[in-house]
């Protein structure tokens, strides 16, 4: 099975300039310092006497394919990349699993109720807002309902390969290429 290519996550200067530095402890409000812990310099709260760990933020997206082999895309109505097209998806809530999150976002953004066929892959990508996003991609080919754009989608539509608009996020493009590269030949 082809594997999603996993490049190192490189935070370029344009992305780093967007990231707002964390200056205070979110538990006690004390000003944070830096301390070398477990192999790297980390934010540290002297009052709580704990490191403030920073990790990738987990999100999901779905490659939804209809019977005519068209791809479902949504047009973004919120930053970043307002007005650009991407896969339905979003951030995982604290009380839900990744599959549940993916299907919830699909429902919210397109009105469709879907079932996950299988995992397409997992990738890490730089983000101006969150530094690094861990993106989980699923394949959905079984779904029901009427297509209605909602939540943070301004529009939603089906696109064949030759009429598809540019896709806003690298991780989404990877999952789409992965799907059409692997499954189209069968
Ligand atoms: Zn603290």
What is the band of 111 on the pLDDT scale with cuts at 50, 70, 90? Answer: very high
| Lowest pLDDT segment from 3-7, 39-43, 49-53 | 3-7
Q: How far is the CA of 72 from the centre of ligand 1 (A)?
A: 45
Q: Is the pLDDT of residue 119 over 90?
A: yes
Q: How far is the CA of 17 from the centre of ligand 1 (A)?
A: 26
The secondary element (H helix, E strand) that includes residue 13 is helix 13-16
Residue-wise pLDDT tens digits, 144-153: 999 988 877 7
Q: How far is the CA of 46 from the centre of ligand 1 (A)?
A: 7
The mean pLDDT of 70-81, rounded to a whole number, is 89
CA 167: distance to chain centroid? 13
Q: How far is the CA of 59 from the centre of ligand 1 (A)?
A: 27
Query: Which pLDDT does position 184 carry in this prediction?
Result: 52
How far, in Å, CA of 144 to CA of 94, rounded? 27
Kindly report the pTM of this predicted structure.
Answer: 0.84
Q: Is the pLDDT of residue 90 over 90?
A: yes
How far, in Å, CA of 22 to CA of 159, rounded? 41
Highest mean pLDDT among 54-58, 76-80, 149-153, 181-185: 54-58
State whether residue 153 is helix, strand or coil: strand
Task: Enumerate helices (H) and strands (E) in the chain, giving the number of each.
Answer: 3, 12
The mean pLDDT of 32-42, rounded to a whole number, is 93
Q: Is the pLDDT of residue 129 over 90?
A: no
Q: How far is the CA of 47 from the centre of ligand 1 (A)?
A: 5
Q: Name the fold adopted by 57-183.
A: Nucleoside Triphosphate Pyrophosphohydrolase (3.90.79)
All structural domains of the chain with their residue ranges: 21-52, 57-183
CA 11: distance to chain centroid? 16
Percent of the chain with pLDDT over 90: 65
């Amino acid at each position: 099975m082809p594997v999603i290519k996993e490049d190192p996550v490189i935070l370029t200067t344009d992305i780093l300039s967007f990231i707002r530095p964390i200056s205070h402890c979110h538990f006690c409000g004390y000003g944070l310092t830096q301390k070398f812990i477990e192999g790297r310099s980390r934010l540290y709260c002297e009052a709580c006497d704990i490191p403030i760990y920073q990790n990738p933020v987990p999100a999901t997206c779905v490659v939804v394919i209809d019977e005519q082999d068209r791809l479902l895309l949504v047009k973004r109505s919120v930053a970043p990349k307002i007005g650009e097209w991407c896969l339905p998806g979003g951030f995982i809530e604290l009380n839900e699993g990744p599959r549940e999150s993916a299907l919830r976002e699909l429902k919210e953004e397109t009105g469709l109720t879907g079932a996950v066929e299988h995992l397409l892959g997992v990738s890490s990508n730089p983000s101006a807002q969150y530094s690094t996003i861990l993106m989980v991609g699923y394949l959905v080919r079984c779904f029901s309902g009427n297509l209605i754009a909602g939540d943070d989608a301004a529009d939603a539509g089906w696109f064949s390969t030759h009429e598809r608009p540019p896709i806003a996020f690298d991780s989404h493009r990877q999952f789409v290429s992965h799907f059409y590269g692997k499954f189209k030949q069968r």
